[in-house]
Amino acid sequence: MYNVKSLNADEFINHEEILETLEYAEQNKHNKALIEEILEKARPKKTGRGVECAGLSHREASVLLACDLPEMTEKIYDLAREIKQAFYGDRIVMFAPLYLSNYCVNKCVYCPYHMQNKEIPRKKLTQDEVRDEVIALQDMGHKRLAIESGEDPVNNPIEYILECINTIYSIKHKNGAIRRVNVNIAATTVENYRKLKEAGIGTYILFQETYHRESYEVLHPAGPKHNYAYHTEAMDRAMEGGIDDVGLGVLFGLDKYRYEFAGLLMHAEHLEAVHGVGPHTISVPRLRRASDIDPTVFDNGIDDETFAKIVACIRIAVPYTGMIISTRESEECRAKVIGLGVSQISGGSRTSVGGYAGYSSEERPHDTEQFDVSDQRTLDEVVKWLMDMGYIPSFCTACYREGRTGDRFMALCKVGQIQNCCHPNALLTLQEYLQDYASPETRKVGEAMIDREIQNVPDPKRREKALEYLDKIRNGERDFRF
Ligand code: SAM
């Protein structure tokens, strides 16, 4: 039976509840009065504490996703843009993945790291290689990484992951520093989550892949990842281990997207109900071609329009949750979904183990790649492209370093302090990037943007302080934050 507070996967991601939700959504997909009512509920409202949003339940959001009336779809997109603007403004946080090891004992049928794939050479970075990769990433301008690894208790035990995290944080090359390491590794024990927390990780990210238990078991035929309940309950263990920023995601293309969407939101509701804080981020990866993987054999692929609608509906349903898109998506698709709700993107990414050091920006090693990268531009090109569209690329990592994680981060959103905090932080970190890593053209566009945008910090004292910090950065000092 469905129970949002249960710690049993089959109860908080309840199959019958999802089927009933989909049925309800189908019956109401043209019910204009109801859709208007749902949109009204989700609209940002001014309260004594600033601007707040109520969000939506999985049922309500599923009605919006099912609705195919063009005029209503426009209203859904408009509301998603309005919510995005209210909480994220024009800021887009930048990150890059760092692949540590492709050794894996699972048999995920969509992933080229599956243990039976003999086409890819297996590789695991040594600490010296981690160092080289991190220096290459710092030299691009990155401050925030997501580390990725296959699951292999012998080759990539938790001690190896912890050692890598340590190495990453220890490297200070020129003005570079990795200030936040997010971790995307397989589901593990409370004890290991505690160790990750102690190592100072940012978000623990784990994609559910699919919320459909039967499909899940077929798609993960062997290995530890076969255990659906263990995987689905991982975020509860992570939170029990003290990690209060967790990142959800499904791999779109594996099962029916409306099912996944309802499951994803039920998972978010569950975390909120049990731990008092929802997911910090939601990722929306789509299946890509890879070494011995042909995505066309999975028949649940979604087109760009449906993908955009999913992003918009997530933005409306969980207004305070960051949304991440990777270089799996093309420049064109990224441009569209950034406007509708995405708040974090990767840039200059390599999805191979050891893909950064020793390669020029044009060269890319394909042999150990996890999936084909669609957006192959350099970080500098992505940064300039964002600014040309009016977005502010942000390398900010302040919240986590100031201890504003979990519900403390949400509180910042709710009291409307974002414009006095995130906005100047974005500009300060952009200034660092321009100074240390940008091409002359990007720097010119960025300097003009900073001069203009700094005026939009509402609190005059904060604005003055930010101007002082900007001056200091221009004179060689680094790492200021609010
Ligand atoms: N091994 C860990 C796990 O199982 O969660 C870490 C994650 S893996 C390195 C990162 C993610 O890549 C997976 O969770 C999966 O969603 C995604 N992925 C795997 N194969 C993919 C493909 N062919 N196209 C796009 N994404 C893929």
Tens of pLDDT, residue by residue over 58-82, are: 999 999 999 999 999 999 999 999 9
**Maximum CA extent, the chain:** 62
Q: 């509301």: which residue's tokens?
A: 79
**pLDDT, average across residues 271-295:** 94
Distance (Å) from CA 141 to ligand 1 centroid: 25
Q: Cβ(111) to ligand 1 under 6 A?
A: yes
The whole-number pLDDT of residue 400 equals 87
* Displacement of CA 94 from its chain's centroid (Å): 10
pTM over 0.75: yes
Alpha-carbon span 40 to 340, nearest angstrom: 18
Q: Cβ(288) to ligand 1 under 6 A?
A: yes
- 16 burial (CB, 10 Å; 0-12 / 13-18 / 19+) is exposed
Per-residue pLDDT band for 365 (boundaries 50, 70, 90) equals confident
Per-residue pLDDT band for 414 (boundaries 50, 70, 90) equals low
Q: Encoding tokens for residue 185? A: 């590794």
Closest CA to 353 of 22, 112, 56: 112
Distance (Å) from CA 305 to ligand 1 centroid: 23
Distance (Å) from CA 243 to ligand 1 centroid: 21
Alpha-carbon span 356 to 178, nearest angstrom: 15
Q: Cβ(184) to ligand 1 under 6 A?
A: yes
Q: 3-state class of 405 per DSSP? A: coil
**pLDDT, average across residues 340-365:** 92
Cα torsion angle, 289, 373, 136, 143, sign: negative
Percent of the chain with pLDDT over 70: 99
The larger pLDDT score, comparing residue 24 to residue 404, is at 24
Taken as a whole, the chain contains a residue count of 482
Per-residue pLDDT of 88-122, as tens digits, reads 999 999 999 999 999 999 999 999 999 999 999 99
Q: How far is CA 417 from CA 398, 413, 422, in A?
A: 14, 7, 8
Nearest CA to ligand 1 atom 19: 111
Least confident of 158-162, 351-355, 406-410: 406-410
Nearest CA to ligand 1 atom 13: 207
Alpha-carbon span 428 to 434, nearest angstrom: 10
Question: Which residues contact residue 362 at a Cβ distance below 8 angstroms, ignoring those fewer than 6 apart?
Answer: none
Q: Could you identify the atom of ligand 1 that is nearest to the CA of residue 148?
A: 9
Scored b (16 or more CB within 10 A) or e, 410-421 reads bebbbbbbbbbb
The whole-number pLDDT of residue 371 equals 86
Q: Cβ(239) to ligand 1 under 6 A?
A: no
Closest CA to 25 of 256, 292, 205: 256
Closest CA to 96 of 180, 35, 13: 180
Is the pLDDT at 461 greater than 80? The verdict is yes
Q: How many CB atoms lie within 10 A of CB 436?
A: 15
Average pLDDT of the chain is 96
Distance (Å) from CA 10 to ligand 1 centroid: 23
* Displacement of CA 466 from its chain's centroid (Å): 27
Q: Cβ(251) to ligand 1 under 6 A?
A: yes
The whole-number pLDDT of residue 13 equals 98
Q: Cβ(293) to ligand 1 under 6 A?
A: yes
Closest CA to 100 of 122, 121, 124: 124
Is the pLDDT at 459 greater than 80? The verdict is yes
Per-residue pLDDT band for 327 (boundaries 50, 70, 90) equals very high
Q: Encoding tokens for residue 192? A: 């290991």
Closest CA to 387 of 349, 350, 422, 439: 439
Per-residue pLDDT band for 421 (boundaries 50, 70, 90) equals very high
- 303 burial (CB, 10 Å; 0-12 / 13-18 / 19+) is exposed
**pLDDT, average across residues 292-298:** 89
